[in-house]
Chain A
Amino acid sequence: GQNIDQPTEMTATEGAIVQINCTYQTSGFNGLFWYQQHAGEAPTFLSYNVLDGLEEKGRFSSFLSRSKGYSYLLLKELQMKDSASYLCAVRDDEYSSASKIIFGSGTRLSIRP
């Protein structure tokens, strides 16, 4: 089967750091994505990991451990505009980049002043 787990909701304070975890169990693996989705809008791409380790992009970083089926998204210097849902997604075919991309249910992050 295929399973992607993330916490349903998280709350953090403006200016702080938050880590959103994602664990996955899929039949194959060929990359993990993080998307951001503001309420009423479409998901937008944040980051991509295919090898183990940390990818940093400005205030956002994403980490992957393939052996543990684990990833996290780290958001630093939180701003009110970071209030959104964060979706973890896995491409589940190690042989093709055109294979299916499956999403977790998302983590709704609320930032308080």
Chain B
Amino acid sequence: DARVTQTPRHKVTEMGQEVTMRCQPILGHNTVFWYRQTMMQGLELLAYFRNRAPLDDSGMPKDRFSAEMPDATLATLKIQPSEPRDSAVYFCASGLATVNSGANVLTFGAGSRLTVL
């Protein structure tokens, strides 16, 4: 049963601390998306990658957020320094995009719930 694995599942930290969230996409998937979900904003796209290359991170606050894929099995989202307004659930999702288009259905991880005090 293929799944997207995210760590940590829960994180409580103090304002100003660095937070790193990790995601292991499904083996063979070539696209990875990071979303943030809050009650007010719904699912916001932060960044996404295709074949490990960043395609769009315009949804991300550049001064404090960074997203990388050091290899095909790991995607990271880092916040430094964290602020209370960053409190949210962060989802990673992966999919398979092919030359012939296709759906590229996303499979989501369980999410990382971040609370910044």
Contacts and interface: CB of A to CB of B under 8 A. Distances in A.
Q: Is the interface of B mostly helix, strand, loop or mixed?
A: strand
B31 interface: yes
A43 B108 contact: yes
Q: Is the interface of A mostly helix, strand, loop or mixed?
A: loop
Contact of B104 (A41, A43, A98): A98
Contact of A97 (B48, B102, B107, B108): B102
B104 A97 contact: yes
B56 A97 contact: no
A91 B30 CA distance: 16
B42 A103 contact: yes
Contacts of A89: 43
Contact of B43 (A31, A41, A91, A103): A103
Interface size class of B (residues with CB under 8 A): 20 to 34
A87 B102 CA distance: 20
B43 A87 contact: yes
Contact of A48 (B31, B42, B103): B103
B91 A42 contact: yes
Given A103-B43, A105-B41, A106-B42, A97 B101 contact: yes
Contact of A96 (B33, B43, B97): B97
A24 interface: no
17 contacts: A30-B101, A31-B104, A43-B108, A45-B107, A87-B43, A97-B102, A98-B30, A98-B31, A98-B97, A98-B104, A101-B45, A102-B45, A104-B42, A105-B41, A105-B43, A106-B42, A106-B43
